[in-house]
Amino acid sequence: MSFTGRLAGKVAVITGGSSGIGRAVCRLFAQEGASVAVLDRDKIGAKETCASLSNHHGNRHCFVHMDVSSEDDVVACVKSVEGEIGKSTILVNAAGITRDQFLSKMSGKQFDDVIAVNLKGSFLMTREFVRAFTAEEPGSIVNIASIVGKTGNIGQANYTASKAGVIGMTKTMSLELARKNIRCNAVLPGFIKTPMTDAVPEEVIKKVLKAIPMQRQGHPGEIANACLFLASEESSYITGTALEVTGGL
């Protein structure tokens, strides 16, 4: 992809950057000129992502080993990023986990773990981003939700609850933060080929593909493109939206 500089001079913080959608977002934002902070509790994966990022016109990158569900980690991370590459004006909350199980068999810990990372993690990161933000230039927050937050999905009561929560939280955040010159939007991926979906049994994949009008899985880069649009000034009058990237699912 050629360099267009849509994020030149920006500092972007991206959680879940060690793999999948988060890694794709990190790479695309760096290609577009942003200095990128790669955040993840997978230290090795985050370091690999950071080492792979493009440098354009002096942009710099860093990785932070942290857990988005830990309030202490989040507070320390925001300060660390500012010290290394500057104040951020873009936040992408892409960290997410699954602990799939049928409702009757799901443990309280399986439920709590998913909510803690997917929902509470997005809340904590956004809260600290907002506290550190100055309205000198526009800010943009992009929360990665999921289409199953609208439709539900068998065996994912915890995951769908967390993603439905992200959608609702995004709506409220957009109302509160508009006066601070910060936009907040959500991206709702469909069935995207990532390490998370690679663990899905083949027969389940075939069943899902039949329900997708475009008859294929999406790619992380296609989600990253949506994030780039919402992070850039091209979407300067868009806030509070939930953008579905699903192949029609």
Model pLDDT, residue 196: 78
Q: Tokens in use for 12? A: 């972007």
Q: Residue 79: which of 60, 67, 94, 64 has the closest Cα?
A: 64
Model pLDDT, residue 22: 98
Q: How far is CA 235 from CA 181, 229, 232, in A?
A: 13, 6, 6
Give this prediction's pTM: 0.95
- The full set of domain ranges for the chain reads 11-245
pLDDT averaged per 10 residues in sequence order, the chain, 249 residues? 82 97 98 97 97 90 97 96 96 97 98 98 97 90 98 96 98 97 97 85 88 94 98 98 97
Host H or E run for residue 163: helix 157-177
| Catalytic, out of 90, 159, 189, 191 | 159
Tokens 């230290």 belong to residue: 43
What is the DSSP secondary-structure string of 30-84?
HHTT-EEEEEES-HHHHHHHHHT----TT---EEEE--TT-HHHHHHHHHHHHHH
Determine contact, residues 240/175, Cβ cutoff 8 Å.
yes
CATH class of the domain whose range is 11-245: alpha beta
Name the E strands within 150-193: 182-189
Model pLDDT, residue 181: 95
Catalytic residue at 159? yes
| Mean pLDDT over each residue of the chain, to the nearest integer | 95
CA–CA dist 117, 138 (Å, integer): 27
Model pLDDT, residue 3: 63
